[in-house]
A and B are shown apart, each in its own frame.
Chain A
Amino acid sequence: MERFRFLIWRPVQMLPVLLGVTLVTFVLVRSLPGDPVRVLLGPRARPEMIAATRHQFGLDEPLPVQYLFFLKNLLAGDLGRSIMYRAPVFEVIAERLAPTFLLIAYALVLSILLATTFATLAARNEGRFADHLVRGFCTAGLGLPGFWLGILLIMLLSVRLGWFPVSGYGETWLGHLHHLFLPALTVAIALAPVLTRNLRATLIEQMGADHAQAARSRGLTEGEVFRRHVVPNALLPTVNLLGVNLGWLIGGTVVIESVFSIPGLGQLMVASIFTRDYMLVQGITLVFALTIVAVNLTVDVLTVALDPRVVL
C-alpha cells in the first residue's frame, strides 16, 4: 500500500494540467475565424437577430470575462450551453459518451487479444515461419490507412457477406457489440501492430534473460518459464506503450465514428468545431483530457502493481 501513496497526490498534480488544457482550448477555438451564431442562424438572418443571439450566449463580452465565466461555471459543475443544440453541454455529451467509450474499450480488448496472441506466437517461434508471418502482418497493419480499411471491411463483410451491419450503433448490448465490431477491428488492426512488435521484442529479451535461464536450469518447462517468469517481466513496457497510444486512439475515434456513423463524441467533436460551438468543443476536450489523465493513472497503478521495484 505504501507504493500506492502517489495516488493521493496525483489528482492534485493534474489540476494545473487540466486548467492549462481548458485555457489552450479556449484560446484556440475562439481564435478560429468564423462566427458560431452566423453558422447557427444561416446566411439569411438579419444582423439584429445575430446581435441578439450573440448577447444571449454572452459572446459579446471581452474574452477574459468569458473565460472567467467558464471557469466559474465549471467549478459549479456546469459546462455551459451548446450554441448549436441550445441544450446544456453536459447533457449533449452524456448522450454520446457510451458509444465512444464502448468503441474504445472494444478496440482495446481486440488490440490486446491480437497483440498478446501474435506476440506470444512470434516470440515462441522466433526466427521461424510463424514469426515472419506475424511480422508481415504487423507491417501491413501499420501501413494500411484506417479510413480506407474501414470502408473495405464494410464492403466485404457487410455488403457482400452480410455478417455485420454497415454502420451505426444498434440497440441492446448485443446489438452494440455487433455493430461496433467492424469499427473496433479497424482500430485494432492499426493499434495491435505497435503493441505486438514491442511485446514480441520484450518477450524475446526476457526469454533470453538470466532469470529465465536459471528457471530452466531448475527444471521448469518452457511453458512454465514463459508464463511465470517471462511474461510478467515483459508486460511492463507494453502497458506503458498502451497508455501512450490511448491518446492517439481517442483522437482516432473521430475518423472511425465518421466512417461508421457512430453517434459518439468523435463525431460530435468534429461537428462542434465546424459550427464553432465553443462551449461544446471545450466540454468535449475536457472530457478527453480527463480520460487521458485517468488512463495514465491506471497505467501507473498497473506498473506499480506489476513491478514491486518501481517507486512512483
Chain B
Amino acid sequence: MIGRTVRRVGLALLTSAATWTAAWAEGTLKIGRDQDSVYMDPILVSQNADVWVLNNINALLVRNTRDATGVEPDLAQSWTISEDGKTYTFTLRENLLFSDGSPLKASDVKFSIERLRDGEGSVFGSMFTVIDAIEIPDDRTVVFQLKERNEPFLTVLALFAAAILPEAAVTADYDSFSAMPIGAGAFRLVEWRRGDRIVLERNPHYWEPGLPKLDRVEWHYIPNDNTRILQLQAGELDAMIFVPFNRIAELDAAEGIEVHLDPSSRMDHILINHARPPLDDVRVRRALAKGIDVDAIIQAVTFGYGTPANSYIPAGGMFYNPDNPRWTHDPEGAKALLSEAGASDLSLKFLVQAGDANYEQVAVLVQDQLGRLGIKVAIEKQETGQAWDTIVEGDYDLNTNYWTNDVIDPDQKTGFVLYGDDPDVLSYYTRYNNPKVNELILQARIEPDQDKRRALYYEIQRIAQEDVNWLGLYYSPFRNASRSYVKNFFQNPMGRFMLETTSIEK
C-alpha cells in the first residue's frame, strides 16, 4: 500500500522533471496568448490571434519594415510603378519554394490576389477591388493593372490577407488546406490542437538565408490572464502577450522576466453618435471633449503606460501630425459651451463592452467627469457580440472602442473613420459626415506628391479634431513579456511578431 503510493509519487515527480527538461529543448519558443485560432485561410481571417499566426507561416509580395514606416521586398525582389500610377510590375526572387517544397510562381501570386479580391467571404476583399487585372508574362513577373491611381496600393499588398498561397494545394483539396495550410513564411504549421495550441516548425525552404533562428514556435491558448502570468513565472511559457496594465511593473521587476512595450498602432477612443441630438451640435461635442480629463484616465487605466491621443492617426503612423491640437481639460469652458447650446441638462447612454476591465474603468471615470458638468451618464454594459449590433444600429450615445492598423497607409483608417458618405460604415458608425473631409479623403487617395499628400492628411486631422468626430483617449503600446533568455522578442507597430529573428540563448 505505502510502496505503491511512493512509487506513484515518484513517477509523478519524474514525469514533471521530464516535462521540465523537455521544455528546455533548444530553439523552442512557447508563447501564451489569450485568444484561440479559428481560421488558417488568410482571406477569411479577421481576428488578431489568427493574423499573428499567419504572419509566421505566410509570406507576401512586400512586407512592412520592422518599424512599420515603409514597405520592403519580401517575395518580390523589386518593382516598378508606371508614371500614371496604374501599373505595378513586380519581379519575384529566384528559386522561391513553398514549405512543402513546391515552387512559388507568378501564377500563385495571381491566384492568391484574385481569390482575395473576389473570393466568397473574403473579409478585406473590398480593399483590392481597385485591381482591374493581373497579368503574368512569365514565372517571375507579375503585373497589376489598376482601375485608377491608388497611393495606398503598395502598403495594401503588405496586408496579411495578401499572403501568397499555393494554387495547386488550395484548389485540389481546400478542406485539407484550411486544416493544414502551406505557405512561404519563416515557419510552417505542423500541429493544430483547437483550444490548446498551435505548433510551428522552421520552414527549411524559407527564402531569407540563415532565418528563422528558432526551430519551433508554440502558441498556447491560455485565456485567463492570471494563469498565463503564472505559467510564465513558473517557466512553462517562454513568453506571453497581453500583460494587463496593472501587472506590468510587477512582472518587469521579477527576476528572469522582461516586459516589452513595443510601440503599436493601437488607439483607444470614445465613439460619439452624431445622429442623436444634441450630439449633432458641435458645441456639445466640444463640451464633452473639454469635460473629460484624458490625463486622469490614462493614469488610472493604463498606469501611465498610455500617451494622450491628439489625432485619429496613431503616433508614429504615416502622416501623423505630432502638433495636431488636442482638446484640453476645461470644465468651465465645457459648461459654458453646454449652456450656449442649450444642453445644460443632458442625459447620455454610455455603451460599454462587458468583461473589458479597462473600458469599464474608463466609463466610470467619464461618468464622474461629465457628471461635474451636470451631464447624467448612464452606463450600459453589453457583451461584445451584442454590443457591435447596437453600435451598427446606432442605439448608443457614447461607446469605448479601439482600432489597430492593418496597413501603414492612413487611407484605410481614414476611410473607415471619417468618410461619411459610406452607407455601410457611416464613419465607424458615428454618423459623422463633413463633405469637406470627404472631399479631402478622396483627393489624398490619388495624390502622388508625398508632401502634398502629407498636407492633405494634416488638414484632415485638424478638421476632424475641431469637429470632434470622436473623443480621442490614448495610444498604448503592445504589452508582451518574455523570459530573459529569449532574445529579440519583438512585435512591430502593425502587430506582426518578427519571430524569424527571435532566438533563445541559455
Contact = CB atoms under 8 A, between A and B. Distances in A.
Given A39-B384, A85-B38, A44 B416 contact: yes
Interface stretch (A71-79, A125-133, A224-232, A255-263): A255-263
A158 B234 CA distance: 7
A35 interface: yes
B16 A261 contact: no
Contacts of A264: 195
Interface residues of A, number: 54
B194 A95 contact: yes
Nearest to A163: B16
B74 interface: no
Interface in A260-278: 260-261, 263-264, 267-268, 271, 274-276
B231 interface: yes
B46 A174 contact: no
A274 B384 contact: yes
A258 B388 contact: no
Contacts of A274: 383-385
Nearest to B36: A271
A162 B194 contact: no
Nearest to B125: A49
A12 B194 CA distance: 35
A273 to B, nearest CB: 9
B307 interface: no
Contacts of B245: none
Interface in B205-237: 220-224, 226-227, 230-231, 233-234, 236
Interface stretch (B7-15, B91-99, B477-485): B7-15
B220 A168 contact: yes
A166 interface: yes
Contact of A178 (B12, B194, B385): B12
Nearest to A43: B388
A163 B230 CA distance: 14
B345 interface: no
Nearest to B228: A261
Nearest to B388: A38
A175 B19 contact: yes
B389 A164 contact: no
Contacts of B389: 33-35, 38
Given A41-B46, A166-B230, A267-B195, A36 B385 contact: yes
Contacts of B220: 168, 261
B15 A174 contact: yes
Interface in B472-506: none
B126 interface: yes
Contact of B227 (A84, A167, A178, A276): A167
A174 B11 CA distance: 9
B195 A263 contact: yes
Contact of A263 (B13, B126, B194): B194
Contact of B424 (A47, A84, A154, A169): A47
B320 interface: no
Contacts of A263: 193-196, 221
A94 B32 CA distance: 24
A224 B427 CA distance: 81
B121 interface: yes
B385 A34 contact: yes
A163 B13 contact: yes
B226 A45 contact: no
A34 B38 contact: no
Interface string A145-158: 00000010011001
A46 interface: yes
Interface string A276-290: 100000000000000
Contact of A86 (B11, B39, B234): B39
Most buried by A among B11, B227, B386: B227
A34 B424 CA distance: 18
Contacts of A39: 384-385, 388
Contacts of B224: 258-259, 261
Interface in A42-91: 42-47, 49, 52-53, 84-86
B46 A44 contact: yes
A302 interface: no
Contacts of B234: 158-159, 162, 166
B346 interface: no
Contacts of B231: 166-167
A32 interface: yes
A33 B121 contact: no
B261 interface: no
A33 B381 CA distance: 13
A254 B126 CA distance: 39
A265 to B, nearest CB: 10
A34 B121 CA distance: 20
Nearest to B231: A166
B318 interface: no
A96 B195 contact: yes
A165 interface: yes
Most buried by B among A44, A53, A84: A44
> Closest 6 CB pairs between A and B?
A34-B385, A263-B195, A34-B386, A42-B46, A263-B196, A33-B386
Interface of A: 32-36, 38-47, 49, 52-53, 84-86, 92, 95-96, 151, 154-155, 158-159, 162-170, 174-175, 178, 181, 258-261, 263-264, 267-268, 271, 274-276
Given A32-B386, A35-B385, A166-B231, 12 more contacts: A34-B387, A41-B46, A43-B391, A44-B416, A47-B424, A86-B44, A158-B234, A165-B19, A166-B230, A174-B11, A178-B15, A263-B195
19 contacts: A38-B385, A38-B389, A38-B392, A39-B385, A45-B46, A46-B126, A49-B121, A95-B193, A96-B194, A154-B227, A158-B230, A162-B20, A162-B234, A163-B12, A178-B16, A258-B223, A258-B224, A263-B195, A263-B196
